Amino acid sequence: MIDRPILHGALFASLALNVFVGGAFVGSQLTKAKEPPAAVATGVPRSPVVMAVRALPPEHQASWRAQNPDYTRTYGPKVREARRLTRETMRGFGAEPFDTQAAVASLARARDLEHESRVAMDRRLVAFAATLPQAERAAFGEALARPRVALGRGAGEGRRLALPDR
């Protein structure tokens, strides 16, 4: 039979250890929640297009950037409208009566706008790549094909990479 003072001491030590381990776990989770994603914190661009353009010589970077205002002026409003339609539709899911046909139509319109913008970007990328020398065109293509930068401290810690087409 265990002596009472020893039992009380063992229970107190166990309680202290559990509080310490629990506090360490909660503290680490709170610290992770406050840290910005690594890609944002380090200034690393998450867009494969931006990363690919940055890998090019300065004159080709300038050529790509010279096209930005026209593309943004044409497709920026369409992308913003697609996002607005999607958010508005999702927020309307709680409406009574719920109009499924209107929701599907709204989301389809948003996807059509997104698709139009993506097709234009694809055409722009291909047309731009055609202006590059073969070695730079190959490097540009390889850089575009890389997956996005992992958010968080690293993919090795159970974090997933973002999909390259998102």
pLDDT tens, the chain, 166 aa long: 566 777 777 777 787 777 777 777 777 777 766 655 544 455 555 688 888 899 899 999 999 999 889 999 999 999 999 999 999 999 999 989 999 999 999 999 999 999 999 999 999 999 999 999 999 999 999 988 887 655 554 444 444 554 444 4
What is residue 111's predicted lDDT score, i.e. its pLDDT? 95
By the 10 Å C-beta count (0-12 exposed, 13-18 middle, 19+ buried), 53 is classed as buried
Query: Could you tell me if 36 and 148 are in contact, meaning their C-beta atoms sit under 8 angstroms apart?
Result: no
CA 80 and chain centroid, separation: 17
DSSP-based three-state secondary structure for 148: coil
DSSP-based three-state secondary structure for 132: coil
What is residue 60's predicted lDDT score, i.e. its pLDDT? 92
Binning the chain into helix, strand and coil, the percentages to the nearest 5 are 75, 0, 25
pTM of this structure: 0.60
